[in-house]
Structure 1
Amino acid sequence: MFSDKKNANTAGLEPGASQNRINEGTHISGDITSNGFFRIDGLVEGTVSTPSKVVLGKNGVVKGTLSCENADIAGSFNGNLNVSQLLTLRSSANIKGEVVVGKLSVEPGAIFNATCSMQPANTPQQKATQSTVYDRPERSSVKAAEQLN
């Protein structure tokens, strides 16, 4: 009755996060926008947009544009894929098109025929902690060494 075990369908979701499921045999044409998690096992032609996670099942197909925070793809995708955090391609995945990701994980066997651009997600907190050589003040010992040369 009372258990600490999490349901496999809701593992990894924020408490109260809504789930959207497109089952196998379902064909949707158009634009879909939601704040919740997506599980796609059917066919979607159009645009899918969420600030959450998208799971594309082994039999799932998306043709169009997909924008999300994280994606776990085992099915087929053809179009523009924008994943701000982690894109995971399972061994059965087939990707074609243009891909922009923060991080990429590819299992052996996945087909990845796309142009890929990796761009880290820049949250205000990350921007504050990132520094480049140009942002750092020079040490006096470095300046002195340069003057000797």
Structure 2
Amino acid sequence: MAIFNDNISINSILGTGSSVKGDVKINGFARIDGDIDGNIEATGNVIIGENARIRGNIKAKSITVIGGIVLGDIVAPDFIKLLSSSVVIGDLQTKKLVSEENVVLHGHCISLSDSAEFASAVSRQENMKAISSMSIRI
């Protein structure tokens, strides 16, 4: 009898040609090959397929971008993998980053394996984002 855990069984799939407008919450492992115009939050791993187009932030345990386009920040404490021809326009926060050739990344990246250093760097980055996004009114 085979036992599947969160690491190998995909709980949710958004296929090629499908689209979602709005935030998406996923319980477990997901593969996205369609378009999402909204934030993605998953309790497990997320695979962004080569035809996927994401306009929003992604938070998950780990994220693999096979070749799609992500316009938003990616937060994945375990790891982020950017495979060849992936495009990410946004900031990355992870403890482990793997990137192949021909990846386009435009943004800031925090990749620290030490948990305390990672948490401190993430906090500093979020504070800087909050400060820079505030407008001063006179």
Shift of 1:11: 9.5
The structure having more radius of gyration, on CA atoms, is: 1
Shift of 1:19: 1.1
Residues 65-108 of structure 1: CA deviation (Å, up to 9, x unaligned): 10001111021111111111110000020010111111100001
Indicate the residue corresponding to 2:44 in structure 1.
52
Q: Is 2:102 the partner of 1:109?
A: yes
Structure 1 CA distance for aligned equivalents of residues 57 and 112 of structure 2: 18
Indicate the residue corresponding to 2:71 in structure 1.
78
Task: Give the TM-score taking structure 2 as reference length.
Answer: 0.74
Greater fraction strand: 1
Root mean square deviation of aligned Cα: 2.5
Q: How many residues align?
A: 115
Structure 2 CA distance for aligned equivalents of residues 104 and 71 of structure 1: 10
Indicate the residue corresponding to 1:66 in structure 2.
58
Q: Is 2:21 the partner of 1:21?
A: no
Q: Quick one: percent identity of the two aligned structures?
A: 22
Q: Is the 8 A contact 1:65 1:81 kept in 2?
A: yes
Give ranges in structure 1 of 5+ residues lacking alignment.
Answer: 124-149
